[in-house]
Amino acid sequence: MEAAKKRKQYLNSNQIGLTAAFGGAAFAFRALGIAIPLVPPLVMDPGALMPCLAGMAGGPLVGAIVGVARGIPSGTPVVDLWAQPIKGIYWALVWKYVILRIKDPKKRWIVFGVLTFLLQFFVEQPMFTAGNSFLLDLYPFYPTWPFTMAWYAVLYSIFQFVIFAAIIKAFPGMFNWETGKKKSNQNI
C-alpha cells in the first residue's frame, strides 16, 4: 500500500479564523450599508478596510478571500469582486515585505502612514475609478480623476490610518507588530 500523500495546507487554523472574522465583518458592513456618507457616491466605509486588515494579519490568500466576501453584497459586484481581493493581496505584501521590515517602531509608523496615503491615492482610487468607468460605464474615465478627488484620498487615508492604527495598537501580536518593548519573564 502506498503511503498516503500529504496535501499542502493552504490555510492554517489561525488563518481560517481570521478569514471568518474579517470576512464576516466585511460582508456585514457592506450588506447593512454601514458607512459615513460624504459627497454622493463617496462614503467612508469601515468594511472596505477588512480585506486590507485580513491580508496584513493572515497573508495574501486570507486578504483575497475576505475581499470576495466584501464584494458579494456590493451594489457594484462586477467591480468589487475583483478589486477588493486585489486590495487584500497587495496590502498583505506591502505589510510583510515593506512595513514589518522596518525595525524602529517610530519610523515604521511614519512609513505606514505615508504608504497608506500612497496606496489609497495611486492604487485604490485609480483601480476603483477605472472599474466603475470601464466595467459599469458610470462615468467617463479621465486619468485626472485621482487628482480631482485628492481631497477624498487625503480624507480616506486619514480615516484608514486611524482605524488601522487603533486595531494594530489593540492587537499587535495578530499583525506581527513588534513594539520594541522587552517582554518580562516574571510570573504574576
- Selected from 2.40.50.100, 3.40.50.300, 1.25.40.340, 1.10.1760.20, the CATH number assigned to the domain covering 15-175 reads 1.10.1760.20
Specify the 3-state DSSP secondary structure of 33: coil
pLDDT tens-place string over residues 14-40: 999 999 999 999 999 999 999 988 877
Give the domain ranges of the chain. 15-175
Residue 173 neighbours by CB under 8 Å, 6+ apart:
none
**DSSP secondary structure letter of residue 7:** P
Give Cα separations from 145 to 79, 90, 109, 150, 171 (angstroms).
17, 22, 28, 8, 36
- Residues 145-173, mean pLDDT to the nearest whole number: 89
pTM: 0.87
- Residues 143-162, mean pLDDT to the nearest whole number: 84
Lowest mean pLDDT among 54-63, 67-76, 134-143, 158-167: 134-143
- Rounded CA separation 90/41 (Å): 25
Give the sign of the dihedral formed by CA 71, CA 63, CA 82, CA 108.
Answer: positive
Q: HSE of 35 in the Cβ direction (CA atoms, 13 Å)?
A: 21
pLDDT tens-place string over residues 63-81: 999 999 999 998 888 889 9
Residue 180 amino acid letter: G
